[in-house]
Amino acid sequence: MKGKFVQKPRTKTMLFGVLGSLVLVLTACAPGSNTGTTPNTGTGSTASANPSFDQKTFDTENAQRTATFTGDPATPWLQYLPGAMVDASKTKLDHPGKVCFSNAALSNTWRQTGWITMQQQLKVLQSQGVISKLEARNAQDSDDTQVADIDYFINENNCDAYIIAPNSPKATAGAVERACATGKPVIIFDRGAGTDCETSFVHSVGGYAWGIDSASFIAANVKKGGHVVALRTAPGVDVFEQRWAAAQHIFEKAGLKVTDYLTGADPAKIKSTLSDEIAKGTVDAVWVDLGDQAVPAVEAFEDAGKPIPVVTGEDVLSYLRAWKAKGFKGFAPVYSAYQWRTALIAVGDLFQGKEIPKDWVLPQVPVPADKLDAAINANKGMPDGHYASFGGEDLPGYPTAWQKP
């Protein structure tokens, strides 16, 4: 049975059944946002004043960016960093297990790409007799809805394992702990859950690594004293805050002048913000914390009749194709979308009595200029909202499942 998102009647009316019916909401946040607001603040703040910056985590993720991962690089969704493993002797089932999935949202293209990949991986595990069913509920970017969804699964008392992609870690921590208290495996992925009770946490290296990759590219291509406009999606979302904190730190060390704005990833807001900055003076680079912001940023310079400066993005095809077509200096950090697949594989392994990493850290390999053509060519026929790091080339339904409108 194909996994479907269902929604309780008392919640918002939009229902996500199959992904083909989804409208791509590019103004929402990714990879796991809890807000779509667009405050218009240019702060020009400094890294030393950012409470989100943690030097220890920065150093850890900086090292993990280039660490040697266990496993075959041809299947990066199965790779991991050496560390503590989970004893699966008590999670082994003698029958296919039911998985209950509480997802923060499907409100952006990264999440939509990942959800398709997860559904195709489900087909494999069902055909192998490992998983019987995936019951999935979509919280639609609402903490209250996600807490209710998790409690619904617990009260249903019909789940052999839980997968949770948290909306807001602090807000959902209590519900996650209640899931853990059932004694069933709990897999957290994407962002942390505000607690460490989970069986395993599946994630790419992290937000600091993403920020280090993108900001280092700008620092290497803009002279000291140059002006960087940073477009931030939303405050208070840990992945975004970590990306920004890492970038701030690098920009400060490089002696770059930075003006940052919260845009909500609204294309109109992005264009008006950059139009104002272009009118004020030189913009040497644009750094974004989300790939969806990059193409409107590029268009702002074209609208103003100005050369496109350095503009970073992400591995979403809309950005990769614009970078290739327009020839500006670009760089695409990656937050691997195949982690959606890994989260389900982790449950399947536990059902089969196979140990898994307690902290399942996946590779996070960016797309530099010399890999641009390969990334685009490997994803011919995919929609602009598709992410190159989806990791589903060997799954059933490839490529048509990812090409549906």
The H-or-E segment that residue 177 falls in is: helix 169-180
* pLDDT attached to residue 19: 32
* pLDDT attached to residue 170: 87
* pLDDT attached to residue 57: 95
Residue 37 has pLDDT above 90, yes or no: no
Structure confidence by residue, pLDDT tens digits, 66-89 = 999 999 999 999 999 999 999 999
* pLDDT attached to residue 169: 84
* pLDDT attached to residue 5: 47
Residue 139 has pLDDT above 90, yes or no: yes
Percentage of the residues of the chain whose pLDDT score is greater than 90: 83
Percentage of the residues of the chain whose pLDDT score is greater than 70: 88
* Averaged pLDDT, 27-48: 40
Residue 20 has pLDDT above 90, yes or no: no
pTM of the predicted protein model: 0.87
What is the distance in angstroms between the CA of the first residue and the CA of the last residue of the chain?
22
* CA distance linking residue 188 with residue 196, whole number of Å: 10
DSSP H helical segments within 17-107, as ranges?
55-64
* CB burial of residue 366 (10 Å; 0-12, 13-18, 19+): buried
Structure confidence by residue, pLDDT tens digits, 102-117 = 999 998 899 999 999 9
* pLDDT attached to residue 404: 82
Specify the pairing of strand 200-204 against strand 186-189.
parallel
Among 190, 188, 4, 172, which Cα is nearest to 111's?
190
* CA distance linking residue 85 with residue 258, whole number of Å: 42
Answer left, alpha or beta for residue 226, where phi above 0 means left and psi between -120 and 50 means alpha: beta
How many other CB atoms are found less than 10 A from the CB of residue 13? 7
Contact 123, 190 (CB under 8 A): no
* pLDDT attached to residue 234: 86
Structure confidence by residue, pLDDT tens digits, 143-199 = 999 999 999 999 999 999 999 999 988 899 999 999 999 999 999 999 889 999 999
Specify the CATH number of the domain 4-24+66-206+336-403.
3.40.50.2300
Residue 133 has pLDDT above 60, yes or no: yes
Contact 33, 237 (CB under 8 A): yes
Domain 47-61+207-331: homologous superfamily in CATH = Response regulator (3.40.50.2300)
Q: Which two tokens stand for residue 402?
A: 């990812």
Assess whether the region 4-24+66-206+336-403 and the region 47-61+207-331 belong to the same CATH fold: yes
* Averaged pLDDT, 130-140: 98
Q: How many helices (H) and strands (E) does the chain have?
A: 12, 14
Specify the pairing of strand 85-86 against strand 356-357.
antiparallel
Residue 33 has pLDDT above 60, yes or no: no
Q: Which two tokens stand for residue 175?
A: 């519900």
Residue 308 has pLDDT above 80, yes or no: yes
Domain ranges of the chain: 4-24+66-206+336-403, 47-61+207-331
Structure confidence by residue, pLDDT tens digits, 338-352 = 999 999 999 999 999
State the Cα angle at 38 between 321 and 114, rounded to 5°: 45
* CA distance linking residue 354 with residue 75, whole number of Å: 18
* pLDDT attached to residue 75: 98
- Better-scored residue on pLDDT, 267 or 3: 267
* Averaged pLDDT, 19-47: 37
- Tally of residues, the chain: 405
Q: What is the mean pLDDT of the chain?
A: 89
pLDDT interval class at 48 (50, 70, 90): low
pLDDT interval class at 360 (50, 70, 90): very high
Residue 223 has pLDDT above 70, yes or no: yes
Among 44, 30, 31, 28, which Cα is nearest to 264's?
28
Residue 34 has pLDDT above 60, yes or no: no
* pLDDT attached to residue 49: 65
Q: Return the bridge partners of 187, or none.
A: 163, 200
* Averaged pLDDT, 317-330: 98
Residue 395 per-residue DSSP state: S
* pLDDT attached to residue 405: 58
